[in-house]
């Protein structure tokens, strides 16, 4: 799909911080990246300016400042959140989301606060790769040729083991075609690029392309995640005329604040907050009759009583998503399923992934924090708080959709798949520009870093082509 998941992503656009690139040095777990924040900073800066995001410079050590457009004001539920978080000494800062609150060019409009980003923005005020990168590139004078409805099967190679192009199945006639290229750049997402490499077996690369280290697919990891919601009496019975103008994302959030030396897990998480009277969502995402039970009232009802309940509870629920860092482990991996192919006849992936106690302990910390925040706001935790038997509500691996690490970068070809410029150790004209190259996740969402590294790799490719090295 043109633009991939940026068509419907959340637009939370966070930089990794200096500590995020040096996990092992910090706490002995996982590995360090072969690069540091200073290598990526110029590209984060260029991205901020090209794409645009709102936020504020806060001078926080591991949540770097950038070039931000003015953030929207907190809405009522967010003011309640700020108040609740203050009581627990949890920092709250303006959200950092790639939606334009000010004009940056003539191609894209400014957010008019309809709150419908999930349905794609009619004025291109929010970032998606299609509307903000690919369409403008198409206007650049025939330099971009798109082959859509094409499913890449493998990277083809010559007798020297260098890539010659790709072979793909046309989704229209189901036939196989070949494209030739001097350089092959895979950006199919961390798992799909690993799948293409593993399916690219040849005499020169019998274990799959780029897989002499046997590490393609290994070290797969997703963000940790746990969720909770509370009903807040102070937000009940609100007038529907209250000004809830805002973007289709959070106006404030809490970056990681904890001291891991005093905790039973090594890395942090941030808190994403939702709530308010956004539409159209039936008010609050919960059964309105069922809410009565939290206030000693009779659940159920039709007609007038249902209408009353909807009005009473509309906008009274605040929800939290913790998004954190798990440790990258070699034992968590995807591999080719030897017995299953997709509808195009291409072998699919199967997954082997287990959380460790570090992630479970982190999820417990999230749940305890959410409960405390709800109480600070005078509210009631909705539903049953998940305990040890349910891994404290820790979402299954893959559910947070921040998969990274399957073709990790490094200086040593025995312990990594690409070098620090996203270039395969085993074939120097093949580059991976998705999150496969991540050595570790951070307590941040990964897309801003995918794009910054992709831009950095692009500069390197141009340099190398000019020098006739590839
Ligand atoms: C609902 C949702 C919300 C999210 N919110 C956020 C957020 O707020 N912040 C954040 O940082 N991240 C967020 N993410 C994650 C973010 O969308 C991904 O990290 C990002 O899109 C990954 O970019 P990518 O280009 O590597 O992969 P993708 O966006 O998945 O793009 C890969 C492209 O390659 C194509 N492709 C795959 N295999 C093949 C093949 N064999 N042949 C041809 N084409 C192929 C796919 O069709 C797709 O177009 C969210 C994801 C989802 C689903
Ligand atoms: S809220 Fe989202 S969809 Fe609506 S104008 Fe703003 S960026 Fe566009």
pLDDT in tens, 8-41: 999 999 999 999 999 999 999 999 999 999 999 9
Q: Any idea what DSSP says for residue 133?
A: I
Please report the pLDDT score of residue 253 as a whole number: 98
Residue 424 is encoded by which pair of tokens?
């395969």
Closest-CA residue to 467 (of 413, 427, 428, 424): 428
Put residue 429 in one of left, alpha, beta given phi > 0 → left and psi -120 to 50 → alpha. alpha
Q: Degrees (nearest 5) of the Cα angle 254, 114, 70?
A: 50
Give the position, in ligand 1's atom list, of the atom nearest the Cα of 403. 19
The answer to whether the CB of 134 is under 6 A from ligand 1 is no
**Sorting pLDDT into bands at 50, 70 and 90, what band is 272?**
very high
**Sorting pLDDT into bands at 50, 70 and 90, what band is 283?**
very low
Rounded to an integer, the average pLDDT of 278-291 is 65
Rounded to an integer, the average pLDDT of 254-279 is 94
How many domains in the chain?
Answer: 1
In a domain, 162, yes or no: yes
**Sorting pLDDT into bands at 50, 70 and 90, what band is 281?**
low
108-118 pLDDT, tens digit each: 999 999 988 88
The reply to whether the predicted model has a pTM over 0.85 is yes
In a domain, 292, yes or no: no
Question: To the nearest 10°, the Cα dihedral for 131, 133, 137, 143?
Answer: -120
Say how far apart CA 172 and CA 150 lie, in whole Å. Answer: 8
Rounded to an integer, the average pLDDT of 43-56 is 98
**Contact by Cβ (8 Å): 427, 209:** yes
Say how far apart CA 150 and CA 253 lie, in whole Å. Answer: 39
In a domain, 89, yes or no: yes
Best substitution site from 188, 195, 227, 443 to test ligand 1's pocket, by max atoms within 8 Å of Cβ?
188
**Sorting pLDDT into bands at 50, 70 and 90, what band is 243?**
confident
In a domain, 302, yes or no: no
CATH of the domain at 329: 3.50.50.60
**Nearest ligand to the CA atom of 270:** 1
Give the position, in ligand 1's atom list, of the atom nearest the Cα of 445. 11
In a domain, 180, yes or no: yes
Q: What is the whole-number distance in angstroms between the Cα of residue 253 and the centre of ligand 2?
A: 19
The answer to whether the CB of 100 is under 6 A from ligand 2 is no
Q: What rounded mean pLDDT belongs to the chain?
A: 95
Please report the pLDDT score of residue 265 as a whole number: 98
Please report the pLDDT score of residue 282 as a whole number: 54
Bigger pLDDT: 292 or 288?
A: 292
In a domain, 198, yes or no: yes
The answer to whether the CB of 276 is under 6 A from ligand 2 is no
The answer to whether the CB of 125 is under 6 A from ligand 2 is yes
In a domain, 307, yes or no: no
322-347 pLDDT, tens digit each: 999 999 999 999 999 999 999 999 99
Beta-strand (E) ranges in 248-389? 252-254, 269-274, 317-324, 333-341, 347-352, 380-381
Nearest CA to ligand 2 atom 8: 121
Give the range of the structural domain holding residue 59, as residue numbers without chain letter: 4-277+315-466
Q: What is the whole-number distance in angstroms between the Cα of residue 129 and the centre of ligand 1?
A: 10
What percentage of the chain carries pLDDT values higher than 90?
87
In a domain, 36, yes or no: yes
Nearest CA to ligand 1 atom 9: 12
**Contact by Cβ (8 Å): 59, 65:** yes
Q: Any idea what DSSP says for residue 163?
A: E
């Amino acid at each position: 799909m043109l633009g991939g998941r940026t068509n419907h992503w959340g637009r939370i656009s966070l930089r990794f911080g200096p500590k995020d690139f040096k996990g092992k040095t910090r706490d002995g777990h996982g590995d360090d990246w072969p690069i540091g924040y200073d290598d990526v900073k110029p590209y984060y800066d260029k991205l901020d300016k090209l794409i645009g995001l709102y936020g504020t410079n806060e001078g926080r050590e591991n949540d770097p400042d950038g070039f931000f457009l003015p953030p929207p004001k907190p809405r009522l539920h967010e003011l309640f959140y700020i108040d609740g978080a203050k009581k627990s000494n949890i920092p709250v800062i303006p959200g950092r989301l790639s939606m334009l609150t000010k004009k940056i060019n003539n191609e894209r409009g400014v957010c008019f606060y309809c709150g419908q980003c999930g349905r794609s923005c009619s004025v291109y005020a929010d970032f998606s790769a299609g509307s903000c990168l690919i369409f403008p590139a198409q206007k650049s004078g025939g330099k971009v040729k798109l082959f859509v409805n094409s499913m890449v099967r493998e990277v083809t190679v010559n007798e020297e083991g260098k890539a010659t192009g790709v072979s793909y199945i046309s989704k229209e006639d189901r036939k196989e075609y070949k494209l030739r290229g001097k350089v092959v750049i895979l950006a199919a997402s961390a798992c799909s690029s690993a799948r293409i490499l593993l399916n690219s077996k040849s005499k020169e690369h019998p274990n799959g392309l780029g897989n002499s280290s046997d590490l393609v697919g290994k070290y797969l990891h997703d963000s940790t995640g746990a969720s909770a919601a509370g009903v807040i009496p102070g937000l009940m019975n609100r007038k529907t005329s209250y000004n809830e103008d805002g973007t289709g994302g959070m106006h404030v959030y809490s970056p990681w604040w904890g001291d891991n030396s005093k905790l039973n897990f090594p890395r942090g998480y941030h808190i994403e907050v939702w709530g308010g009277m956004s539409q159209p969502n039936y008010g609050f995402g919960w059964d309105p009759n069922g809410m009565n039970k939290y206030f000693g009232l009779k659940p159920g009802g039709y007609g007038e009583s249902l209408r009353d309940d909807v009005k009473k509870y509309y906008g009274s629920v605040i929800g939290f998503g913790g998004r954190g860092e798990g440790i990258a482990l070699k034992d968590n991996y995807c591999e080719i399923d030897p017995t299953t192919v997709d509808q195009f006849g291409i072998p699919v992936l199967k997954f082997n992934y287990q959380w460790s106690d570090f992630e479970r302990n982190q999820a417990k910390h999230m749940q305890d924090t959410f409960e405390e925040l709800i109480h600070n706001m005078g509210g009631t935790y909705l539903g049953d708080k998940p305990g040890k038997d349910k891994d404290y509500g820790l979402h299954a691996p893959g559910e947070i959709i921040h998969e990274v690490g399957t073709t990790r970068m490094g200086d040593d070809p025995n312990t990594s798949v690409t070098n620090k410029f996203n270039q395969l150790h085993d074939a120097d004209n093949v580059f991976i520009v998705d999150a496969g190259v991540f050595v570790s996740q951070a307590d941040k969402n990964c897309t801003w870093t995918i794009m910054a590294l992709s831009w950095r790799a692009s500069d390197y490719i141009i340099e190398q082509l000019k020098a006739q090295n590839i």
